[in-house]
Amino acid sequence: MFSSLLNEKSQFWNVDVYNIYDNIFPDKIDNYNAFIITGSAFGVYENHSWIRELFKVIKKIVNLKIPLLGICFGHQAIAQALGGHVVKSSKGWGIGIKEITTKKSNSLLGNFNKLNLIFFHQDQVVKLPQNAELIAGNLFCNISSFSIGDSVLALQAHPEFNKDFSLKLLNARKSSVEPTTYLEAINELETLEHDGELITPNIINFLEQKS
């Protein structure tokens, strides 16, 4: 899905994929111009060796000021690794196409007042890392996006998801989702448009900073 989202540029990039849940990580961090940490079914607060290793790698990337993009689990992992805090939200699932309001007039995501994006999560960042700047949020998910300087961009939403995939994922998870949340999400995914492609050029610019 990220290949599809970034298709305009990804055909010109050399991309390596690491299955970090198998404890496979890059040998030399500084060989790369940018990193993306994607979504996951795991929680960043779970006690797995690969999650502990991921936190070390995140700190190295940030110290080297290599552009680091975190999406959903990646957003949460960056926050947790750098001193923020993530919990399984008592509000339950956040699923569907949700509007977020930007807190900063011009951010790494672009110059937008509001964005409609696809969300699919239970966990939330509830405390920002030191030096992080809040980009956007809403009443359900106060910290929906943040940045640190020009080299870290974190987003709880999924710009890479399309509506068809999201509906299939929702139906696969139906048994664990509250009925009212499920019906609301179905309605949003079937009737609303999302701005994933709208912010894609800004994500590409962010990733290409060091190229």
pLDDT in tens, 152-172: 999 999 999 999 999 999 999
Range of the domain at 90: 2-207
CATH code of 114's domain = 3.40.50.880
3-class state of residue 96 by DSSP = strand
Rounded to an integer, what distance in angstroms lies between the CA atom of residue 12 and that of residue 202?
A: 17
Burial class (CB in 10 A: 0-12, 13-18, 19+), 167: middle
72 an active-site residue? Answer: yes
User: Which one from 121, 158, 188, 194 is the annotated catalytic residue?
Assistant: 158
Tally of domains within the chain: 1
- Give residue 104's pLDDT: 78
- Give residue 1's pLDDT: 84
User: Which one from 72, 75, 188, 194 is the annotated catalytic residue?
Assistant: 72
Beta bridge partner(s), residue 114: 101
Weakly modelled stretches of the chain, pLDDT under 70: 211
User: Which one from 141, 160, 188, 194 is the annotated catalytic residue?
Assistant: 160
pTM value is 0.94
Give the closest residue to 157 by CA, choosing from 35, 39, 3: 39
